[in-house]
Amino acid sequence: MSANIIDGKQVAEKLRERIANAVKKIEQEHKKIPGLAVVLVGNDPASEVYVRNKGIQTKEVGMTSYEYKLPEDTPENELLKKVDELNNDPNVNGILVQFPVPQQISQQKVIETILPAKDVDGLHPINSGYLSSGLEGLVPCTPQGAAILIKEACKDLSGKKAVIIGRSNLVGKPVAQLLLKEHCTVTICHSRSQNLELISSEADILVAAVGIPNLVKKDWVKPGAVVIDVGINRIDVEENGESKTRLVGDVDFDDVKGIAGSITPVPGGVGPMTIACLLLNTLNAFCDQNNFDRPSL
Ligand code: NAD
């Protein structure tokens, strides 16, 4: 039997629709709309595409998008000054600095300069503290998207055994915290873990966030498990004698789809959820800053 393919594009589209409706309602009641500022430093082509898409989708849900493009050689203090300006701008409810930033700038300093209430990437230590304490804050976007897709595939997570491969602050750790909050029994694996294949094969929910193409094979997967592939890897392939590149995940999709119960594809799985969750965070940040209740979406 083949796994149910979790359609992240469709789930993300429905979430954006609900966000757009909530923004419309707030605008009617309070004559205000949320604003998201995105800052890009340099000319990385992939980052330029991400930032453009964020701007388009922000406007599509009825929010205001503020976009700032700074040159590659921007000194750290200039970027921090821009962040501070946005911290103090009442029209800006969420601030996102696109990572990676050029090497003269400390990513951690940027993270810690953004006001926690406007930290829609959810990376400020205050927000990761809220998450690890099980309190309400702003949750990193990709892990939030992964958790929504897991809930789509598995309604009752209580007591389920979840294995997360990867322990980054951006993905692995926040996914683990979110699943702990849902009462899963959580194991986090990483590059030094022993018997990875055995540990993975006991998981009811397996999340791969590593950055190694096609690492997870069918022997790593328990029959019927929910498999969430966060990895995005560009690999070289030969097609009809031509060299091309292709996006693949950390899970060998073709190998695993025959054994998993549900699986996310790459592309089209977790990826599309990231911007939708960024918009959700912006809406929540706006509500918190205005003392409105967060809408339950
Ligand atoms: P990272 O490099 O910060 O972390 C990778 C983690 O994998 C580390 O914790 C490391 O210990 C672990 N690891 C490395 N080799 C391993 C091995 N052989 N066995 C087990 N664990 C191993 O990466 P990240 O930022 O967490 O991203 C992980 C993947 O997710 C990447 O492919 C990235 O492109 C992708 N990603 C996707 C989105 C999205 O969908 N929008 C967002 C962020 C990251």
Residue-wise DSSP of 5-28? EP-HHHHHHHHHHHHHHHHHHHHH
Q: Which domains does the chain have, with CATH numbers?
A: 30-116 (3.40.50.10860), 141-271 (3.40.50.720)
- Ligand 1 midpoint to CA 210 (Å): 3
For residue 259, the model assigns a pLDDT of: 98
Which of the four pLDDT bands, split at 50, 70 and 90, describes residue 131? very high
Q: How far is CA 78 from CA 97, 120, 121, 239, 251, in A?
A: 13, 21, 21, 46, 40
CB 201 within 8 A of CB 159: no
Instruction: Give percent of the chain above pLDDT 90.
Output: 98
| Tokens coding 140 | 């990193």
CA dist 280 and 296 (Å) reads 10
Span from the CA of 37 to the centroid of ligand 1 (angstroms): 26
State yes or no: pLDDT of 278 exceeds 80: yes
Which tens digits make up the pLDDT trace of 32-63? 999 999 999 999 999 999 999 999 999 999 99
Q: Which atom of ligand 1 is nearest to the CA of 233?
A: 32
pLDDT at 1: 72
pLDDT recorded at residue 82: 98
Tokens of 209: 């966030």
First to last CA, the chain: 33
CA distances to 37, 112, 117, 132, 170 from 125, in Å: 20, 7, 12, 10, 12
Label the pairing between strands 233-239 and 242-248: antiparallel
In this predicted structure, what is the pLDDT of residue 104? 98
d(CA 62, CA 16): 10
Question: Going by CA atoms, what residue is nearest to atom 6 of ligand 1?
Answer: 166
Q: Whose CA is nearest to atom 16 of ligand 1?
A: 191
Strand partners, 242: 239
Residue range 196-212, pLDDT digits in tens: 999 999 999 999 999 99
For residue range 144-199, list pLDDT tens digits in order. Answer: 999 999 999 998 999 999 999 999 999 999 999 999 999 999 999 999 999 999 99
Check residue 270 and report its DSSP letter.
S
Look at residue 180 in the predicted model and tell me its pLDDT: 97
Pocket test for ligand 1, best of 107, 111, 190, 235 (most atoms within 8 A of CB): 190
Q: What is the mean pLDDT of the chain?
A: 97
Residue/partner pairs of 65-68 with CB below 8 Å, 24 or more apart: 65/35, 65/36, 65/38, 66/35, 66/36, 66/37, 66/38, 66/91, 66/92, 67/37, 67/38, 67/40, 68/37, 68/38, 68/39, 68/40
Residue 111 has pLDDT above 80, yes or no: yes
pLDDT for the residue numbered 185? 98
Contacts of 58 (CB under 8 A, 6+ apart): 36, 64, 65, 279, 282
Which tens digit of pLDDT belongs to each residue from 70-105?
A: 999 999 999 999 999 999 999 999 999 999 999 999
Of 53, 81, 56, 51, nearest in space to 68 by CA: 51
CA of 168 from ligand 1 middle (Å) equals: 7
